[in-house]
Structure formats: C-alpha cells, structure tokens
Chains A and B, each alone.
Chain A
Amino acid sequence: MNVWQHMTEPMANNGDRSSTSDKIRWRAFRTVVNDLHEVWGFRYALLNLTSGQLKTTYQGTALGMLWGVLNPLLMLGLLGMIFSQIVGRDIPDYPIFLFCGLIPYTFFSSSITSASSCLFRNRKLITKYRVNYMIFPLSSMAAGVVDFSLKTIAVFLLLQFFHAGISIRLILLPAAILLLSLFTTGIVLASMALVTMFRDLEHILSVLLRMLYFASPVLMQPNMLGQYRWIMDANPLSYHLRLFRYSMFQRLDYVYWPTGMEWGITIASSLASLLVGYLIFKRYERRLIFQI
C-alpha cells in the first residue's frame, strides 16, 4: 500500500515509442480511478465531516437551521425593496428575479470562500493522518449544497407571497442545482490548491468574486448593460443562474424552457470546470502538505 506510488512511479521506458501515449492515457486513467477509490474509502469520513460542518453552521439547535435560512431572507427582503426602486423598474416582478439570482450566487461564492481555506482549517488532521485531500473540499461542498437546497425551499415558499406560482418547470430545479454544484466543485478544487500554495490569492479571489457578481445576472438583466452585454453572455455562471431562475420563476405568462444551447453551455461548463479544477489540484497535490 503506497498511496503516493502512482505518482512517483517512473514511466516504464522500454524503447517502445508507439505506445507512449497509450501509457500516459493509462496512467491518467489509473490516477483518476485511484482518487475515486480513495475518496470512496473515506466516504464515512466525508459524511461525518459534512454533518460536523452543518452542525457547526446551524449551531446544533433546532432554530439554528431556521436562522440559517431567515438571515439571508431578511437581507434579500431589504435588497429587494431598495433595488426594485432603482434598477428593477424595467424588470417585472423584480423581487422574485432578485431572489432567484442571489440564492445561487451566494452558494457559489460562499462555497469558494469557505473551501479555499479548508486545508488550513484541517491542518492538524492532515499532518497526522494520510487522507485524500479532496474529502475536505467535497465535504465543504456537500454541506453547502444542503444549505443551498434548504434556502431554495424557503425562498420558493416565500415567493408564493409574490404569486410566483407553481408549474411543471419545477422539475428543472434538481438539474439546475446539480449542474451548478458540479461547476462550483471544479472551481473549488482549483481555488483550494492555488490559495494553499499562494496565500495572498485569498484576497484577489474575493475581488474576483465581487467582479463576477456584477458580471452575472444577479441584480440586472444582460440587456441592461448596453454595449457591455457580451460580458454577461460570455460568463458561464450566467447560464447556471438563468437555469435556476427558469425553474423557480413559475408564472404561467413566462412559460419558457431553456434552449438546447443553454443546456449545452451549462453541462459543458460544469464538465470543463471539473476537469480543469482536478488537473490544477493534481498539479499541486504533492506540495500542499508543505504549505499548510
């Protein structure tokens, strides 16, 4: 049992050049399988870390979960009141529009912020046990998804006061949550590795997230940006937010299904983010322990 072996093992070179790319492919495949196997081996640890994090978030009280949901709702209500008078005049049902953008965006940005420091938070554990580092961002993501889903339910109930209605499009909601979670997981893997290696990236990251906030359709529709509309159109997060919004915004007079291209962009961007995030993580994996 040598857990680092699959990465230290030198490429067997017996002069057979034609099969080199096959070997690289085989090695990449083995690395992925090995990682999945390790994470699966730690599935109970993953579960326990997740429930631990949820308990810390909700402070182990019955009302804690309620507060976790009420807090952002009050904030949302305030923002809704203010912005519906400023930017929202051209958007019908602006509070609903805003809620359906803020909930997934907050999930996205808080997942990244909390997961980038997860190795530091678990420093003692990592320097004692050999664990696959991926269980920390994954457990942080899992706790985030549970929190996100609860808030979505709460907002959905609240939106009924604004006559958001219920329609068949609700079946899109699980897909929207799943795709956004996968998209976020990839970014989280990369940001965890990079922030651990270069610690000042944490500050740069928060600036980037703030910029992304205005480059995503959270407060505004793309057409409100005028000639800068392309920024929102080029941002894959916009399509994830829109998919989420479609499934929550249920008024019958807005019956509208996501187009094939929108499905394509959300699915492709999730897979691309997972792949790139995993590659960045693997690039730094062996050096992370020396930086925490």
Chain B
Amino acid sequence: MNEDSYSKSSDASIHLDGVSLRFLRYGQGVRSFRRVLLDALRGRREKPSHDYWVYQDLSLRIRHGERVGIIGRNGAGKTTLLKLITAVYPPTHGQVRVTGKVTPLLELQAGMNMDLTGLENIYLVGSLLGWDRRRIQEKVPEIVSFAGLEDFIRTPVRCYSSGMATRLAFSIASSMDPEILLLDEVFAVGDQEFTPRAMEKIHALMDVSHIMVLTSHNLKHIRELTNRAIWIDRGRIMLDGDPETVCQAYEHSLNPKPPNPVFCT
C-alpha cells in the first residue's frame, strides 16, 4: 500500500480525550414514572441499581493509515469503544473527535426492514449510512451481484433464508468506500462459497480505508491484519503497541502456565 495515495483527501483521525462512559440502570433496567413520582413526594431520589463506568478517563489517538486491532476478554468494552467512535454513545465526560466518514460493520442486519424487498432495503440501509439516492442507484447492481440475489431482489426480506439476508446485509455494508472502517467480529459470513469472497472483500475494504479498527478474539487475524494492537481490560488500556508484543502479553495473561498438552479423548 502506498501511504501517499491517501493524502489527497484530508487526513482521517480518531481522538478520544479523557473519555468516560457511564451506564446507569434502574430497577429492572427501566425507570418507572410511578417510582420517580412516589420518590419525589417522599423527597428523595431513586438510586440506580446499577452504576457502571465502562470507561474512565480513556485517551486514545488513532492516526491516518493505522490498522488497529482491539483485543480483550468478553465484556472488556471492545464493542463499546467502536460505538463511541461511531458516536452511538455520547461520552459522559470527555470528547470524541473523529475526522472522516465512519463505516461500521457491526451487526450487519440491524438497519433492515423485513417487510421490504431486498432492493428497498438497499435504499433504506444505504440512506441510513448517509449516501444519497444517486450513489445508491450506482451501487445497486454491484451489491445485488455480489450477494448473488438477482432472482430474489424483489422479494420481501422476510422470505429470505437467514443466510441470504446476511449476504445481502454484508454486501450493502461493504459496498462503499470507507474512510474509517470499524469491524466487529465479522469474519463468518454465509456459506462456503460466500465466506472466501466476503473475506476478500473485507481485505479490499481494509486496503482502501484510511483507518481500520478491528475487534477480534482470533489473535491470528490481529497478527495478520493490523499494525497496532490495543489490549483492553475492564475499560483500561493494558498495553498498546506492536501486535506481536501485545498478543503475546495477552496470551500470557490468559494462560500463565504453558498449556497442558494432555487431551481427554
């Protein structure tokens, strides 16, 4: 990849300055007006039953051209970090500043409406990603042929098999030119015919994106695809640096002793 080819548009960057994110939960997850009213009459305030800081004072800079892998155990806050970058979550304190168009490949089918046809869903999801009508029109043939759904594109998505729906969702999400690409464990898409093509497409997207942030439990992907790895544990950055070093440290933390070579059969 030629680094210079990126600099024609302005440089993409992600800045997190002292970001804290707090999740509050009340009772069974929702706040009840009856409770608030009763408490107000008694002159007190309902205390949240669950007060949890996902991140506290997190600062992170990702520069143009970096391919960042994020590793950590379940619940460490990997996906939440991606959602902070997408601005789905507003930070409780601090600032998130992102330059460049963010393309999230998180939950692929999220924006689709099952009652609409495949074609209508291309327009719906495309417009949610912020494309205009003409741009979507240009992309339609490419999306349809990549998903291999030429015969079903005017059928409502609710009649699709789950594999077909996933293929369509992937083809839509991956058909634009991302400046900042966010990937959340999207390496198992579709059947044996589709998966290699999907992988190829993801690699192509990574090549054209200015910044790529990837979360994965598969350290092989991190080692192969990134040039910087960040290990997160309970909302803290444990280690940030060269993928090989970080992966080794992370593996070491998971298995302090070398793995036992004896297997039960």
Interface on A for B, CB 8 Å cutoff? 1-5, 7-8, 41-42, 44-45, 47-49, 51-52, 55-56, 60, 124-131, 194, 197-201, 204, 286, 289-291
Q: Give chain A residues whose Cβ lies under 8 Å from the Cβ of B126.
A: 44
Interface on B for A, CB 8 Å cutoff? 23-24, 30-34, 36, 83, 86-91, 95-102, 104, 106-107, 109-111, 113, 115-116, 120, 123-124, 126-133, 136, 156
Q: How far is the CA of A204 from the CA of B156 in the complex (A)?
A: 37
Q: Give chain A residues whose Cβ lies under 8 Å from the Cβ of B98.
A: 1-2
**Further pairs besides A41-B130, A204-B33: 10, Cβ < 8 Å:** A44-B136, A47-B127, A51-B120, A125-B128, A126-B88, A129-B111, A129-B129, A198-B32, A201-B33, A289-B89
Q: Pick the contact of A200 from B34, B100, B136 — CB < 8 Å?
A: B34
Task: Tell whether, in the assembled complex, residue A44 and residue B32 are in contact, meaning their CB atoms are under 8 Å apart.
Answer: no
Q: Pick the contact of B97 from A5, A42, A201 — CB < 8 Å?
A: A5
Q: How far is the CA of A44 from the CA of B136 in the complex (A)?
A: 11
Q: Give chain A residues whose Cβ lies under 8 Å from the Cβ of B124.
A: 45, 48-49, 52
Q: Pick the contact of A199 from B24, B31, B130 — CB < 8 Å?
A: B31
Task: Tell whether, in the assembled complex, residue B113 and residue A52 are in contact, meaning their CB atoms are under 8 Å apart.
Answer: yes
Task: Tell whether, in the assembled complex, residue B127 and residue A127 are in contact, meaning their CB atoms are under 8 Å apart.
Answer: no
Task: Tell whether, in the assembled complex, residue A200 and residue B33 are in contact, meaning their CB atoms are under 8 Å apart.
Answer: yes
Task: Tell whether, in the assembled complex, residue B127 and residue A128 are in contact, meaning their CB atoms are under 8 Å apart.
Answer: no
Q: Give chain B residues whose Cβ lies under 8 Å from the Cβ of A286.
A: 90
Q: Give chain A residues whose Cβ lies under 8 Å from the Cβ of B91.
A: 4, 8
Shortest Cβ-Cβ A-B pairs, 7 listed: A44-B127, A198-B33, A45-B127, A128-B110, A130-B87, A48-B124, A124-B110
Closest Cβ of chain B to A142, distance in Å, is 14
Task: Tell whether, in the assembled complex, residue A3 and residue B87 are in contact, meaning their CB atoms are under 8 Å apart.
Answer: yes
- Indicate whether A8 sits within 8 Å of B90 (C-beta atoms), given known contacts A48-B123, A124-B107, A128-B106: yes
Q: Give chain A residues whose Cβ lies under 8 Å from the Cβ of B109.
A: 124
Nearest chain-A residue to B15 (Cβ)?
A2
- Indicate whether A290 sits within 8 Å of B115 (C-beta atoms), given known contacts A2-B98, A8-B90, A128-B110: no
Q: How far is the CA of A273 from the CA of B16 in the complex (A)?
A: 38
Q: Pick the contact of B96 from A2, A60, A198, A199 — CB < 8 Å?
A: A2
Q: Pick the contact of A2 from B33, B87, B111, B123 — CB < 8 Å?
A: B87
Task: Tell whether, in the assembled complex, residue A44 and residue B133 are in contact, meaning their CB atoms are under 8 Å apart.
Answer: yes
Q: How far is the CA of A201 from the CA of B113 in the complex (A)?
A: 27
Q: Give chain B residues whose Cβ lies under 8 Å from the Cβ of A128.
A: 86, 88, 104, 106-107, 110-111
Complex A-B: 23 CB contacts under 8 Å = A1-B99, A2-B87, A2-B97, A4-B91, A5-B95, A8-B95, A41-B130, A44-B126, A44-B133, A45-B127, A55-B120, A124-B107, A124-B109, A124-B111, A125-B128, A127-B88, A128-B88, A128-B110, A129-B86, A129-B104, A200-B32, A290-B23, A291-B31
- Indicate whether A197 sits within 8 Å of B31 (C-beta atoms), given known contacts A48-B124, A128-B106, A129-B128: yes
Q: Give chain B residues whose Cβ lies under 8 Å from the Cβ of A4.
A: 87, 90-91, 96
Of residues B32, B89, B90, B109, which shows the largest number of chain A Cβ atoms within 10 Å of its Cβ?
B90
- Indicate whether A199 sits within 8 Å of B87 (C-beta atoms), given known contacts A2-B98, A5-B95, A44-B127: no
Q: Give chain A residues whose Cβ lies under 8 Å from the Cβ of B116.
A: 52, 55
Q: How far is the CA of A129 from the CA of B87 in the complex (A)?
A: 8
Q: Give chain B residues whose Cβ lies under 8 Å from the Cβ of A48.
A: 120, 123-124, 127
